[in-house]
Chain A
Amino acid sequence: MSVCGAAINCEFSDAMGISMLARGLKALNGFRHWLNTGAAWHWYSLATVTLSGLLIAALIVLVTSQGLGYFWPASVQEWVISESKAVDSPLQAPSSQRLFVRVLEQQPVVSAQPALPADDTAQTGLEYFVQFQEFVDGTANWRYAWVEAGRIIRVTRPQSLLEVHLSQGGSVFGYPLVIDSGEQQFTGQALHALLRDGGWRELMASGEVTEARLLLRLQDGSDFVAPLTTVRNVLFPNDASLLYRVRQFTTSLWVFLSTGPQPDYQGGILPAIYGTVLLVLLMSVILVPLGVLTAVYLHEYASNNLLTKTLRIAVSNLAGIPGIVYGVFVLGVFVYGLGAQIDQWFFNDRLPLPTFGTGGILWASLALALLTLPVVIVATEEGLARVPNDLRRGALALGATRSEMIWGTVVTAASPAILTGLILAIARAAGEVAPLLLVGAVKYTGQPLLESSFPYLHAERQFMHLGYQVYDFALQSTNTYATIPLAYATTLILLALVILLNLIAIRLRARLRRRFLIDYS
């Protein structure tokens, strides 16, 4: 067989084999030499950097695109669908013939059963996941359904279709027919311009016409009357103008950032932004003194014996404890223990209603402070270790006591390192949700944390938190189709907030470094 063929070329291939071997060896030597120069490390590190950079970039792109996409006006289509299928569909299929829908997803039909031979629309092969409205007792409810492409008879994107956000929550799709202000009626072009350019607000704000109403034609042909005072915002989702869309985008982003939550996932997350910032600030106020004192004790006062080393290792390993454990700890020891005691001593009149004996922003920030304590301790110790001993001797030689030396000189010199610790701690804490679940983070609270009258800060109150909102939107929702985009949007805001908080700390640190020109920390 092939052995014969090989035998014929035996000599030839031998010679070639040797020269190839030599060349191979040479190449191998060259490669080994190259390895020995260490140049390969350059490429390893570059590859690693690229990989982690790509992963982070992908995450940021995902969060940003999904998060910002939530604010971009999504078009609304008008569908006419055949009604026959609606009856035998197991899904909650639309029953009306004309529908205003927002397409959320599309996919090829995945059906376990072969299409029935009588079914002439099965070949189209696509199905859409849509959001549409259903009216129950005059209020619009969102419904969701998969609709097979075959059932759709006609699709249009009417430019004049209006989306009306109501102030008590919910929104309505419809064709605007008329605004009736009592003395004046706007229809046609005038009505369109009024609604598109925000003129309707003036009509509402003018005050003289309290009865101004907007008349809409709904998908089923019936009319919907909305007094302008109940309208929060209107927009034409299919308007072709980019400028108009950008304006709507900024408006809804601004509404999201600057208002409180509304029923039906309208409104914004301002109280959660508030709560998060306040939580992080309170945490820092608890964290920095605790962490710095501990680190200074470990590094400056304690002699470097076995006990100190054990303590140090213990502290570093605290960082490995899951966040929820801190929540449980604070709940058990501080909320039910200390908090209940405080209530008995100072808030006896309010019992059995707890004041500090229940979750609140103070306890939550304490849990976060404990959680991030190792970071600050380790960073501060590193900073202290980098302060040259000459500095300590210099201070002592000038007649400073040990404490004056430590607090007046050494800690100042280590202050950038302390800030580095704080920066890391903030980054860790701002996104942490688990410990907050038990100690006061809530989906919604009407009680503000800050008030303009004494005692200004209500540290005992429950609070809203961006991370908790994300958790709630993503995992606790009964209507994930509506809340997943919200979770992305909230994540984006949280990310931006963490970056902002960190930038502030980084600038502070840069200023300290510049001021002292400290190059050893």
Chain B
Amino acid sequence: MDTELNAQPSLLQEDSQNAELAVVVRGLHVYYGARLVLDNISLDVEQKQVTALIGPSGCGKSTLLRCFNRLNDLIDDCHVQGQVRLFKRNIYHPDEDVVTLRRQVGMVFQRPNPFPKSIFDNVAYGVRLQHKLGARELREVVRWSLKAAALWDEVKDRLSESALKLSSGQQQRLVIARALAVKPSVLLLDEPASNLDPISMLKLEELITELKSRYTIIIVTHNMQQAARVSDHTAFIDQGRLIEVSDTRSLFTHPKQKQTEDYITGRYG
């Protein structure tokens, strides 16, 4: 591992000149116990663009996503080596304040995980942690977030009900609203559309396109059309290795790697 890490300096210098990058990953290795699940990933994520991560199930997409807000720290036997830099800041530096980091990097989980609280309190949760807002301002933030997540019309009359009463599609949009409410600069979406009907999915895609002007978005998806529709860049990961990354159009039309081509045309496996 050490040799690989040492091999990076030239790359680091190179990208530090690029002001457009929100996230820079260099030589990232992730182990669960002794098992290597991410193998030497190096990836650039451009600011205010949508980057899609695609790849077969179990290849390590979620793990990679969790490296961006250091949520892997919570997994006892998970070890991370290498560098992840967010706006030029090494987030795995010992002085890094993870709380601040996570306020900056919002995340929507693969499985919807609303808190056992009211709909309103769910959306207001992150906001309340950061700011002391007045009741009116808070309500405004909640309304904005729910509207942005295309959920407002369905829940505006039942904000005080338990969020667990919502359907799983609604819960998915609720956790998106919850993440939007804290206005992060980077938004990580782990298969946000997996529980959504086609219409909500299109709405969500519209939302992502809209949010792009303000946020850097990294989205994991199993849906090739979706990746093609919403993303500017696409990275294909297989068995913990980053196989190919380029702008979405060329990746889907002219994949350079055989593996990528097989995967996007459905011949994978």
Spell out A's residues near B (CB within 8 Å).
Answer: 388-401, 404, 408-409, 412-413, 515-519
- For residue B87, CB closer than 8 A to chain A, the reply is no
- For residue B56, CB closer than 8 A to chain A, the reply is no
Which of B109, B116, B117, B178: most chain A CB closer than 10 A?
B116
CA distance A185 to B246 in the complex (A): 115
Q: Please report the total number of B residues contacting A with Cβ < 8 Å.
A: 27
A-B residue pairs, 5 tightest by C-beta: A399-B103, A398-B126, A516-B116, A390-B113, A517-B164
The interface residues of chain B lying within 8 Å CB-to-CB of A398 are 102-103, 106, 125-126, 129, 178-179, 182
Q: How many A-B residue pairs have CB under 8 A?
A: 75
> Of the candidates B100, B102, B162, B165, which one forms a contact with A396 in the assembled complex, judged by CB atoms under 8 Å apart?
B102
Tell me how far the C-beta of B207 lies from the nearest C-beta in chain A, rounded to whole angstroms.
Answer: 19
B126 with A399: CB separation less than 8 A: yes
- For residue B74, CB closer than 8 A to chain A, the reply is yes
**Assuming the A-B contacts A393-B74, A515-B162, are A399 and B182 also in contact, with contact meaning beta carbons closer than 8 angstroms in the complex?**
yes
Tell me how far the C-beta of B223 lies from the nearest C-beta in chain A, rounded to whole angstroms.
Answer: 22
Spell out B's residues near A (CB within 8 Å).
Answer: 69, 71, 74, 99-100, 102-103, 106-107, 109, 111, 113-117, 125-126, 129-130, 162, 164-165, 175, 178-179, 182
Q: List 6 A-B contacts (CB under 8 A).
A: A391-B113, A393-B113, A394-B109, A399-B103, A409-B125, A517-B164
A517 with B109: CB separation less than 8 A: no
The interface residues of chain A lying within 8 Å CB-to-CB of B114 are 394
A396 with B129: CB separation less than 8 A: no
A401 with B99: CB separation less than 8 A: yes
B74 with A517: CB separation less than 8 A: no
> Of the candidates B103, B111, B126, B162, which one forms a contact with A516 in the assembled complex, judged by CB atoms under 8 Å apart?
B162
B116 with A518: CB separation less than 8 A: yes
CA distance A421 to B115 in the complex (A): 22
CA distance A408 to B126 in the complex (A): 11
CA distance A517 to B171 in the complex (A): 14
A391 with B74: CB separation less than 8 A: no
Q: Which B residue's beta carbon lies closest to that of A388?
A: B113
A400 with B164: CB separation less than 8 A: no
Q: Which A residue's beta carbon lies closest to that of B115?
A: A409
B125 with A397: CB separation less than 8 A: no
CA distance A412 to B106 in the complex (A): 23
B111 with A396: CB separation less than 8 A: no
Q: Which B residue's beta carbon lies closest to that of A512?
A: B116
B74 with A399: CB separation less than 8 A: no
A516 with B164: CB separation less than 8 A: yes
B182 with A390: CB separation less than 8 A: no
CA distance A401 to B182 in the complex (A): 15
The interface residues of chain A lying within 8 Å CB-to-CB of B100 are 399
Q: Which A residue's beta carbon lies closest to that of B126?
A: A398
> Of the candidates A396, A400, A401, A409, which one forms a contact with B71 in the assembled complex, judged by CB atoms under 8 Å apart?
A396
Which of A388, A392, A399, A515: most chain B CB closer than 10 A?
A399
B175 with A394: CB separation less than 8 A: yes
